[in-house]
Amino acid sequence: MGAYRFGGVHLDRTRKLLESLVLLPTDLESCEEAGRMGADLLARGETLGGTDLLIAAISKRHGHRLLTRDRSFARVSGLAVETY
């Protein structure tokens, strides 16, 4: 949203960054993993939003670390998280 708001060089940089990323698919297994993660968190008295659960599940399913500033992802069992 910010890149479109400011436009120009910001939008160009954002497009170049996005073009360099590997996009991981959302599939049935990722959705099921998100459900398991959500249930596990609830059983421990914790929560994570639906979108964040999908992000975590996709990363875990494909064996990738999740790079984020959101420290709440560290509560997800078995997810490799790298914060900055």
String of DSSP letters for 8-45: HHHHHHHHHHHHHSPPPPP-HHHHHHHHHHHHHHHHTT
Q: Which two tokens stand for residue 9?
A: 């060089």
Annotated domain spans of the chain: 25-83
Would you place residue 12 in the very low, low, confident or very high pLDDT band (cuts 50, 70, 90)?
Answer: very high
> Looking at the predicted structure, is the pLDDT value of residue 14 above 80?
yes
Q: Which CATH architecture has domain 25-83?
A: 3-Layer(aba) Sandwich (3.40)
Summarize pLDDT for 62-79 with one digit per residue, the tens. 999 999 999 999 999 999
Within a 13 Å sphere around the CA of 44, how many CA atoms are in the beta-carbon half?
A: 11
Would you place residue 22 in the very low, low, confident or very high pLDDT band (cuts 50, 70, 90)?
Answer: confident
Q: Give the model's pLDDT for residue 4.
A: 87
pTM here? 0.80
